[in-house]
Amino acid sequence: MLRRPLALIAALLLILLISWSLRPKPSAEVARTALIMGTLVEIKGVGPDQKHTEEAISAAFDIMKSEEARFSSRIETSQISAINRNKGALEADPEVLFVLQLGQQISRQSAGAFHMGLGRLIKLWGFEAVNPRVPETQAIKQLLPAFTQDAVSMAGTGVERTDPRIQLDLGGIAKGYAVDRALEVLRASGLQSASVNAGGDIGLLGGHGERPWKIGIQHPRKPGELLATLELRDRAIVTSGDYERFFEIDGVRYHHILNPQTGLPARACQSVTVVAPRVAEADALATAVFVLGPNKGLALLENSSAVEGLIVGADGQVKVTAGLKGQVQWR
Ligand code: AMP
Ligand code: MG
Share of the chain above pLDDT 90, in %: 85
pLDDT at 4: 76
Listed range (225-239, 241-255, 275-289) with the worst mean pLDDT: 241-255
Q: Is 122 in the pocket of ligand 1 (CB under 6 A)?
A: yes
Return mean pLDDT, the chain. 94
Q: Is 171 in the pocket of ligand 1 (CB under 6 A)?
A: yes
Cβ < 5 A residues, ion ligand 2: 172, 283, 286-287
Atom index in ligand 1 nearest the CA of residue 260 equals 19
Residue of the CA atom closest to atom 12 of ligand 1: 171
pLDDT at 188: 97
pLDDT at 14: 83
The domains of the chain are located at 79-161
pLDDT at 19: 78
pLDDT at 156 over 90: yes
* pLDDT tens digit sequence for 76-134: 999 999 999 999 999 999 999 999 999 999 999 999 999 999 999 999 999 878 888 99
Contact 187, 136 (CB under 8 A): no
Q: Is 73 in the pocket of ligand 1 (CB under 6 A)?
A: no
pLDDT at 314: 97
pLDDT at 7 over 90: no
Q: What value does the mean pLDDT take over residues 4-14?
A: 82
Q: Is 115 in the pocket of ligand 1 (CB under 6 A)?
A: yes
pLDDT at 63: 98
pLDDT at 209: 86
Listed range (15-19, 131-135, 285-289) with the worst mean pLDDT: 15-19
pLDDT at 20 over 80: no
Sequence-distant (6+) residues with CB within 8 A of 11 are none
pLDDT at 28: 81
Atom index in ligand 1 nearest the CA of residue 113 equals 19
pLDDT at 6: 83
**Candidate from 169, 239, 247, 270 with most ligand 1 atoms within 8 A of CB, to mutate:** 169
Q: What value does the mean pLDDT take over residues 232-240?
A: 98
Of the candidates 192, 188, 187, the one whose C-alpha atom is nearest the C-alpha of residue 29 is: 192
pLDDT at 1 over 90: no
Distance 199 CA to ligand 2 centre (A): 11
Q: Is 254 in the pocket of ligand 1 (CB under 6 A)?
A: no
Residue of the CA atom closest to atom 11 of ligand 1: 171
Atom index in ligand 1 nearest the CA of residue 290 equals 4
pLDDT at 23: 60
Atom index in ligand 1 nearest the CA of residue 173 equals 3
Instruction: Taking the CA atoms of 123, 113, 101 and 43 in sequence, report the sign of the dihedral they define.
Output: positive
pLDDT: which is higher, 197 or 305 = 197
Overall fold of domain 79-161: T-fold (1.10.3980)
pLDDT at 9: 82
Q: How far apart are CA 68 and CA 326, in angstroms?
A: 37
